[in-house]
Amino acid sequence: MSNDVEVYERLVDRLKTARPSQTIDGVETITKPIPDSDVPGDLDPRVLATMRVFVPSDGPEIFDLASARASMGWPNRDVTKTVITTETVTIPSGDGDIPARMYRPDTTETLPAILFFHGGGFFGGTLDTVENPCKRLAEKANALVVSVDYRLAPEHPFPAGLDDCFAAVEWVYLQAEKLNVDRHQIAVAGDSAGGNLATACCLMDRAQGTNWITFQALVYPVVNLGSIPTEDYEWTLDRYEIKHHHDLIRGVVMALGDSENLLNQIYLQGKAELTDPLVSPLFAEDVTGLPPALIITAEYDYLRLEGEAYARKLARDGVKTRLIQYRGVDHAFMDKLGDYPQAEDCLAEIANGLKEMTR
């Protein structure tokens, strides 16, 4: 990976202007190319370099919770160019206080608010992992970003983490004047499991008629926890264009396949069915009335196909939906802020979506 800041910024600029848009299956779809390569069916050069260093093991592995948690995240960079203040807060709830961090641009104006829920398979991830992405998002969106340290499984199975996230949404709404945010511009965002929690909060918001959330940004979200086939979704490797580095790319894609049903065991622990819409939003019977949605996927991510299916579902039910796919990258690319230009562009697209799709 290049550490040349000028090269990195040039690639970020290329992605900013590379926004070919078309309507596919009723969804506004933007496909972002690899910024410095026009070779189809291959990994981004930075991803390839990373994969060659961190080659997954071929043999079966015994799941170890502590090791899995420790392996999450990436030493990303702070790429902000303006002052973003950080404040640690505690959000009260009926289930106990919820730690959070707030990131605020240096302004006295009333801002939109974005609640961000980190990824980590519902059992891992930390506020530290997403600190730099949240700071950049606050800068690009000119918004207060509240990063929520929700409870994790297996110590706190479903719906504990989701309840924390929704309690945080309610807190921002009720404290809007004190926080100097516009209570009519509250968004939710999250990556991977955090994307699941974000859209599940939207379902809860609609169900209780509060309508606090005005926009949702889901970055390679989990929306079908068991990869269960539906009328519009069935996972198959054939849907991935692989023309180079075949074995490596297949390994990258399959890395998130949950053949052992681990997430069900760790996260649900028998407290809900895999098809519960708050567990697997793809199984919601009706998503009419949910807030505008931006769904971001990675070309070589096991979760890509379910993210695309969820985009189609939202669009069919009249939800304003935009789908952006980044070519050549894999799951968790957002964590590589400062190394992968797609990470920075992804945050800019969330900021754009907040401004454009809520008009």
Domain that holds residue 20: 5-56+76-356
Q: Which helix (H) or strand (E) holds 207?
A: helix 193-207
333 is a domain residue: yes
Domain tally, the chain? 1
Residue 78 confidence (pLDDT) above 50: yes
CATH number of the domain at 141, please. 3.40.50.1820
Catalytic residue IDs: 192
Cβ neighbour number for residue 102 with a 10 Å cutoff: 19
Nearest to 302 by CA among 346, 240, 241, 248: 240
User: 31-51, pLDDT tens digit by residue?
Assistant: 999 999 999 999 999 999 999
Q: How confident is residue 55, by pLDDT bands cut at 50, 70 and 90?
A: low
Q: How confident is residue 1, by pLDDT bands cut at 50, 70 and 90?
A: very low
Q: Does the reported pTM lie above 0.85?
A: yes
256 is a domain residue: yes
70 is a domain residue: no
Q: What is the pLDDT of residue 303?
A: 98
HSE on the CB side for 184, CA within 13 Å?
Answer: 2
66 is a domain residue: no
63 is a domain residue: no
Residue 3 confidence (pLDDT) above 60: no
C-alpha 288/C-alpha 189 separation (Å) is: 19
Q: How confident is residue 58, by pLDDT bands cut at 50, 70 and 90?
A: very low
131 is a domain residue: yes
User: 257-299, pLDDT tens digit by residue?
Assistant: 987 799 999 999 999 999 999 999 999 999 999 999 999 999 9
68 is a domain residue: no
Q: What is the pLDDT of residue 61?
A: 67
32 is a domain residue: yes
